[in-house]
Chain A
Amino acid sequence: MTEFLYYINVGTAFFLLIGMVLLLARLLSGPTLYDRILAVNSFGTKIVLFLAVFALIIGRDDGVDIAILYALMNFIATIAVLKFFRYSALGVSLEDDFIEEESPPVVPRTSRANKGKQT
Chain B
Amino acid sequence: MSGEFFHTTQMLIASALMIAGVFFVIAGAIGVIRLPDFYTRMHAAGVTDTLGAELIIFGLIVQAGFSQTSLKLVLIAFFLFLTSPTATHAVVGAAWQSGLKPKLGKYKAPAPGEAIVKPKSKTKTKAKTKAKTRRKSPVKKARAKK
- Which residues on A are within 8 Å of B, measured CB to CB? 1, 4-5, 8-9, 11-12, 15-16, 18-20, 22-23, 25-26, 32, 34-35, 37-39, 41-42, 45-46, 48-49, 52-53, 55-56, 61, 64-65, 67-68, 71-72, 74-75, 78-79, 82, 85-86
Query: In the assembly, what is the distance between CA of A25 and CA of B31, in Å?
Result: 12
A25, A56, A72: the one within 8 Å of B33 (CB): A25
B7, B90, B97: the one within 8 Å of A79 (CB): B90
B25 touches A16 (CB 8 A): yes
B53 touches A49 (CB 8 A): yes
A35 touches B41 (CB 8 A): yes
Q: For this complex, into which size category does the number of interface residues on chain B fall?
A: 35 or more
Query: In the assembly, what is the distance between CA of A33 and CA of B49, in Å?
Result: 20
Residues of B near A18 (CB, < 8 A) are 26, 29
B14, B32, B38, B64: the one within 8 Å of A22 (CB): B32
A22 touches B33 (CB 8 A): yes
A46 touches B76 (CB 8 A): no
A-B contact count (CB 8 A): 136
Name which residue of chain A comes closest to B95, CB basis.
A34
- Which residues on B are within 8 Å of A, measured CB to CB? 7-8, 11, 14-15, 18-19, 21-22, 25-26, 28-30, 32-33, 38, 41-42, 45, 49, 53, 56-57, 59-60, 63-64, 68-69, 72-73, 75-76, 79-80, 83-84, 86-88, 90-91, 94-95, 97-98, 100
Name which residue of chain B comes closest to A29, CB basis.
B33
Chain B CB within 10 Å — which of A42, A45, A46 has the most?
A: A42
* Cβ distance A1 to chain B, nearest Cβ, rounded Å: 6
Q: Beyond A26-B41, A38-B45, is A78–B87 a contact (Cβ under 8 Å)?
A: yes
Query: In the assembly, what is the distance between CA of A55 and CA of B64, in Å?
Result: 11
B56 touches A49 (CB 8 A): yes
Q: Beyond A18-B26, A78-B91, A85-B94, is A5–B21 a contact (Cβ under 8 Å)?
A: no
* Cβ distance B48 to chain A, nearest Cβ, rounded Å: 9
Q: Beyond A49-B25, A52-B60, is A35–B38 a contact (Cβ under 8 Å)?
A: yes
A12 touches B80 (CB 8 A): no
- Contacts A12-B22, A56-B60 known; list 9 others, CB within 8 Å: A12-B18, A22-B32, A35-B38, A35-B41, A38-B32, A45-B80, A52-B57, A53-B56, A72-B79
